[in-house]
Amino acid sequence: MSDIICTVDVVLLTLKNGALHVALLKRDHPPFEGVLALPGAYVQADEDADTQESAARMLRAKTGIASPYLEQLATFSGRCRDPRGWSLSVAYYALVAEKSLVPAVHPDVTLSAVEQIKDLPFDHRQIVDAAVRRVRDKSAYSSLPVHLCGETFTLPRLQAVYEAVLGEPINKVSFRRKIEELAILERVEGAMETGKAHRPAQLYRLKKHFRQCLSLSDRALNATH
């Protein structure tokens, strides 16, 4: 019906050693066979209700990750980006905790620090850059970074994640007040993190409602006012 190649690509981001990393997979067919690239797939009109479902299906099949926080980034298109012809990729980004991506579970996934990526096939480098910009822009004003934390976490851990994404230290008192205002967290009753050098700390998790949608703040979480 159309001579346009329709695909989805996902920028799957995690924090490793305090730095944003992107998950790359070796391509198992031409073009660029054997080269590390973003996980992607054709949109399947007979299987997928929409492109969000295409992205979720592909991610589950290729990385084993189910139901991450997944948001549409932008659509990249044109006649030059894919040697097979005029193509269009609806790009998504997803945020997951590092432990969801350990190599033992996902032997095919390579984690690359976003600051150190040299080159990627197609326009995947441009897609990664756009995703990282989006995540940094949104993080100061939303619950987005919580999705990098894993299922349960302490408040000091959450603050460290925000600081890593935003690239700057945050005032503890105002950070805690704004996280409180976002009203996204619930205590895990009776659960404390112990065994560290510090005193035991309460564990929190994201309220169910916010696992697939964000809570937005009108004041930056890294501002002191």
Q: Which residues bind its own copies (CB under 8 A)?
A: 1-6, 42-43, 45, 49-51, 72, 74-75, 77-80, 85-86, 88, 90, 225
**DSSP state letter for 225:** -
To its own copies, the closest distance from the beta carbon of 156 in angstroms equals: 27
Nearest to 124 by CA among 8, 209, 15: 8
- Taking the least distance from each CB to its own copies, the nearer of 100 and 222 is 222
Nearest to 154 by CA among 118, 120, 179, 129: 179
To its own copies, the closest distance from the beta carbon of 108 in angstroms equals: 26
- Taking the least distance from each CB to its own copies, the nearer of 72 and 103 is 72
**DSSP state letter for 217:** -
To its own copies, the closest distance from the beta carbon of 72 in angstroms equals: 6
Strand partners, 6: 88
Which residue carries 């209700």 as its tokens?
Answer: 49
- Taking the least distance from each CB to its own copies, the nearer of 32 and 86 is 86
Q: What is the DSSP string of 53-72?
A: HHHHHHHHHHH---S-EEEE
Strand partners, 36: 26
To its own copies, the closest distance from the beta carbon of 183 in angstroms equals: 20
- Taking the least distance from each CB to its own copies, the nearer of 138 and 211 is 138
- Taking the least distance from each CB to its own copies, the nearer of 49 and 66 is 49
To its own copies, the closest distance from the beta carbon of 157 in angstroms equals: 27
To its own copies, the closest distance from the beta carbon of 149 in angstroms equals: 26
d(CA 119, CA 35): 10
Name the burial class of residue 122, with classes exposed (0-12), middle (13-18) and buried (19+) by CB atoms within 10 angstroms of its CB: buried
- Taking the least distance from each CB to its own copies, the nearer of 80 and 105 is 80
